Amino acid sequence: MTEKKHWRKPSWQIVIATLAGVFFLSSLGVWQLQRAEEKKQIQLEYESRKNSEPQTFSFPITDPASLRFQRIRVQGRFISNKQFVLDNRYLDHQVGFNILTPFKLDDSDKVVLVDRGWLPLKGPREELPIIDVDENFRTLVGTVYVPYGKAFSLGEMDHSTSWPRLIQYLDFKELGMRLGHELLPLTLRMEENQADTYKAQWIVYASSPKRNYGYAFQWLAMALALLVIFIVLHRPR
């Protein structure tokens, strides 16, 4: 007589641990897929606007995100005695700073923060680069950048009371308070080949969607492997 085979009954602890592991790993895989799709949409948005004709700001700005990556032409003057130096900016595998200079718009009380580009760190972080700029009337062309979500931070935005101020992240309300002017909730990234522009190589995102797809495959494969291991260990023998 052939002996009837039975599945091995796992303990409830093993069942819960396996289900939790599969759920956790699958969630990470799905999250990476969502991140990849988000990056694809950002890239499409950028490509659709990068060669557009420069526009002018239309006030009031009710939805700053709708202007993201739009080319803008502004006229006015820099506020040269109150500039911000954004710390820990990486370009070409080197750490440095982004130089943010307030720009008073002509015939308006509006002030926009202009990102004049990147400078490398050449000494101690406390020794800030020389970033002098005149306050002559000028016309600038740049690309609007609106951060995605709230800036990640582990501490205070800055610890300085002197100018220029070294800052760790962007908070337009806090920056406006330090500046004494209400800032538009966006930055204008200067295009290259304009006076007083530093290295203006703007990165849409740090990594491509392909990397996220690769991570998603790894997490989902690990979830599947965990499920297969559970089945193999408890199959009929």
Residue 113, pLDDT above cutoff 90 = yes
**Whole-structure pTM value:** 0.77
Q: Do 127 and 185 belong together in one domain?
A: yes
Q: Do 99 and 85 belong together in one domain?
A: yes
**Worst-scoring range by mean pLDDT, 35-44, 189-198, 214-223?**
35-44
Q: Do 18 and 38 belong together in one domain?
A: yes
Work out the mean pLDDT of the chain and round it to a whole number. Answer: 87
Please list, in sequence order, all residues whose beta carbon lies within 8 angstroms of the beta carbon of residue 80, skipping any fewer than 6 positions away.
Answer: 101, 132, 133, 134, 135
Q: Do 179 and 151 belong together in one domain?
A: yes
Residue 1, pLDDT above cutoff 60 = no
Q: Do 3 and 32 belong together in one domain?
A: yes
| Higher pLDDT pick, 237 / 174 | 174
**pLDDT band per the 50, 70, 90 thresholds, residue 73:** very high
Residue 98 · residue 84 · CB < 8 Å: no
Domain range enclosing 136: 54-203
The pLDDT assigned to 59 comes to: 85
Q: Do 120 and 183 belong together in one domain?
A: yes
Q: Do 169 and 218 belong together in one domain?
A: no
Q: Do 217 and 152 belong together in one domain?
A: no
Separation CA 96–CA 64 (nearest Å): 27
**What's the structural domain count of the chain?**
2
Can you name the residues that pair with 189 across neighbouring β-strands? 115, 143
Helix 12-49 and helix 209-233: axis angle, to 10°? Answer: 170
Residue 2, pLDDT above cutoff 70 = no
Mean pLDDT of the region 74-90: 92
Q: Do 25 and 77 belong together in one domain?
A: no
| Higher pLDDT pick, 99 / 51 | 99
The pLDDT assigned to 84 comes to: 94
Sequence-separated contacts (24+) of 3-7 with Cβ below 8 Å:
5/236, 5/237, 6/236, 7/234, 7/235, 7/236
Q: Do 130 and 197 belong together in one domain?
A: yes
The pLDDT assigned to 35 comes to: 87
**pLDDT band per the 50, 70, 90 thresholds, residue 25:** very high
The pLDDT assigned to 193 comes to: 87
Separation CA 44–CA 51 (nearest Å): 13
